[in-house]
């Protein structure tokens, strides 16, 4: 007999985990909708030709491939599982270009799959929650994503810091320090500043071929003064980047965006934020929780050419992705789930015999008509067993039905928190159940 298990890196979600996860998804979805985003879904499987070459060499290796029985083993599979939501979205935009009104504000909440080595907090199946605005290069879009981030974490009750940077500024820095061709090496290295520290970043920069002069010139960026205002940082950068056209364009964008955002303490211009993905071309974002050490819990940025690889050039956009699994860990650690949310069944009927059971079924239907989630224990078995079931599932009220209660057209309602019991009629019972 087989002992069952699930593939490594995947998870089952039981009722309590599901209630928590639904709370996270519902909150994010509500905010997306409030800002006028429209939901789409794409298939779990995409053509391999859609996926290959979009995530770098490393990414290609992490794709799950799908075979059906028509294909011989050894034949190259034509399909693969979705690796993120961005490439399927780009494919969607090109395929449905005739139906789409731009600017297109789309959101998408679906699982993705990566054949990463499973480890703590990293899974092979996990959800992404993405919102993008495409078809406009107005910085108002960046601003609205900042407001969405603020509202989502306000609703969760999680204190966060939003780190903002701009890829054009990073390109300008590369130019100014005399290493314009090293922009990718520079961003990859300084992206690690938080994790490995400034000395290791400098070593990596030299390894990646930057001259000692270039590394020296970069130091003011790596040693930003803590606590100075975003405006002062921008002023400093404006001097540093004065000779770089792209750098000054980046400064302009930062000024516009911070002008819209205003003076917000939770938003920080962070010149060491780079974000690994190379398709970003303007603003980049990363959100960190203040009260939990967990790394980035959402991030995104501006890209100039989402759909070029599918033959549709010039589609600019900006997007944000919320990491549901990390947010789940943060809410768990801070114990921030609303109490009411966990309420599934509110009343369980427990009965002493088959006639009482039939009586309870009628009452249960009446409660459900009132929107009260109700169960009837399906057998008139030992009362202890029925009460134990209510206990185990944290059902707050048990309506006990014996012959006496039935004769009076009532039930004995037990409040499982206080232990109090009272004999009540149907209309009383309905008014006694809170929050339905």
Residue whose CB is less far from its own copies, 124 or 410: 124
2 counts as binding its own copies under rule CB under 8 A: yes
Binders of its own copies in range 195-224 (CB under 8 A): none
Binders of its own copies in range 324-363 (CB under 8 A): 344-345, 348, 357-358, 361
10 counts as binding its own copies under rule CB under 8 A: yes
Residue whose CB is less far from its own copies, 161 or 373: 373
Contacting its own copies (CB under 8 A), which of 27, 46, 283, 320? 46
278 counts as binding its own copies under rule CB under 8 A: no
CB of 25 to its own copies, least distance (A): 11
Contacting its own copies (CB under 8 A), which of 291, 379, 404, 428? 379
CA-CA distance, 211 to 22, in Å (whole number)? 51
> Cis link prior to 121 (omega < 30° from 0)?
no
38 counts as binding its own copies under rule CB under 8 A: yes
CB of 429 to its own copies, least distance (A): 16
Contacting its own copies (CB under 8 A), which of 25, 94, 255, 268? 94
CA-CA distance, 343 to 340, in Å (whole number)? 6
Are the CB atoms for 289 and 159 separated by under 8 Å? yes
411 counts as binding its own copies under rule CB under 8 A: no
Please identify, among the stretches 47-55, 217-225, 295-303, 398-406, the one whose residues bind its own copies according to the rule CB under 8 A: 47-55
CB of 113 to its own copies, least distance (A): 7
Binders of its own copies in range 114-133 (CB under 8 A): 115, 125, 133
Closest listed residue to residue 331, CA positions, set 299, 291, 303, 302: 291
Determine the 3-state secondary structure of 349 from DSSP: strand
305 counts as binding its own copies under rule CB under 8 A: no
Please identify, among the stretches 181-189, 263-271, 371-379, 407-415, the one whose residues bind its own copies according to the rule CB under 8 A: 371-379
Q: At what angle do helices 212-222 and 167-176 cross, to 10 degrees?
A: 140
Chain-centroid distance of CA 371 in Å reads 30
Are the CB atoms for 413 and 424 separated by under 8 Å? yes
Closest listed residue to residue 345, CA positions, set 316, 323, 310, 373: 373
- CB contact set of 253 (below 8 Å; sequence gap of 6+): 139, 166, 168, 282, 283
- CB contact set of 264 (below 8 Å; sequence gap of 6+): none
14 counts as binding its own copies under rule CB under 8 A: yes
Contacting its own copies (CB under 8 A), which of 173, 187, 374, 429? 374
Strands in 125-134's sheet, in edge-to-edge order, are 38-39, 104-113, 125-134, 317-323, 296-303, 280-289, 160-166, 267-269
Binders of its own copies in range 125-184 (CB under 8 A): 125, 133, 136, 138, 140-141, 143-144, 147, 151
Determine the 3-state secondary structure of 115 from DSSP: coil
Q: Which segments within 246-305 are labelled E, that is strand?
A: 267-269, 280-289, 296-303
CB of 278 to its own copies, least distance (A): 20
Are the CB atoms for 397 and 415 separated by under 8 Å? yes
Backbone angles phi, psi at 8, to 5 degrees: -60, 145
427 counts as binding its own copies under rule CB under 8 A: no
CB of 114 to its own copies, least distance (A): 9
Q: At what angle do helices 212-222 and 193-207 cross, to 10 degrees?
A: 160
Contacting its own copies (CB under 8 A), which of 20, 54, 75, 366? 75
Residue whose CB is less far from its own copies, 69 or 119: 69
């Amino acid at each position: 007999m087989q002992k069952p298990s699930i593939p490594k890196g995947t998870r089952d979600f039981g009722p309590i985990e599901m209630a928590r996860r639904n709370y996270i998804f519902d909150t994010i979805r509500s905010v997306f909708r409030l800002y006028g985003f429209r939901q789409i879904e794409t298939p779990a499987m995409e053509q391999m030709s859609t996926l290959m070459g979009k995530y770098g060499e490393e990414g290609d290796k992490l794709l799950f491939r799908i075979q059906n029985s028509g294909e011989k083993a050894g034949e190259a599979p034509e399909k693969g599982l979705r690796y993120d939501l961005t490439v399927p979205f780009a494919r969607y935009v090109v395929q449905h270009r005739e139906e789409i009104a731009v600017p297109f504000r789309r959101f998408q909440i679906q699982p993705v799959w990566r054949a990463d080595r499973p480890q703590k907090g990293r899974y092979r199946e996990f959800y992404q929650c993405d919102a993008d605005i495409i078809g406009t290069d107005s910085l108002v879009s960046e601003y609205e994503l900042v407001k969405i981030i603020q509202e989502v974490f306000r609703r969760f009750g999680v204190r966060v810091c939003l780190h903002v940077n701009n890829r054009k500024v990073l390109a300008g820095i590369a130019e100014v320090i005399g290493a314009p061709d090293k922009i990718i090496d520079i961003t990859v290295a300084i992206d690690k500043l938080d994790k490995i520290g400034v000395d290791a970043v400098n070593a990596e920069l030299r390894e990646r071929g930057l001259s000692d002069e270039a590394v020296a010139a970069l130091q003011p960026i790596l040693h930003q003064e803590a606590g100075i205002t975003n405006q002062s940082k921008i002023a400093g950068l404006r001097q540093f980047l004065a000779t770089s056209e792209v750098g000054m364009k980046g400064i302009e964008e930062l000024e516009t965006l911070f002008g819209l955002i205003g003076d917000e303490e939770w938003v920080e211009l962070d010149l060491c934020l780079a974000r690994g993905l190379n398709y970003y071309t303007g603003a980049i974002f990363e959100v960190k929780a203040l009260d939990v050490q967990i790394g980035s819990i959402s991030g995104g940025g501006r890209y100039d050419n989402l759909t070029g690889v599918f033959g549709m050039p010039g589609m600019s956009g900006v997007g944000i992705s919320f990491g549901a699994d990390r947010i789940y860990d943060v809410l768990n650690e801070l114990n921030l789930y609303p109490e009411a949310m966990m309420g599934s069944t509110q009343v369980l009927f427990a009965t002493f015999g088959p006639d009482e059971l039939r009586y309870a079924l009628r009452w249960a239907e009446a409660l459900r008509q009132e929107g009260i989630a109700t169960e009837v224990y399906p057998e008139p078995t030992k009362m202890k067993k029925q009460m134990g079931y209510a206990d185990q599932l944290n059902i707050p009220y048990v309506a006990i039905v014996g012959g006496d209660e039935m004769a009076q057209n009532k039930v004995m309602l037990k409040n499982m928190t206080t232990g109090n019991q009272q004999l009540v009629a149907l209309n009383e019972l309905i008014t006694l159940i809170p929050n339905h």
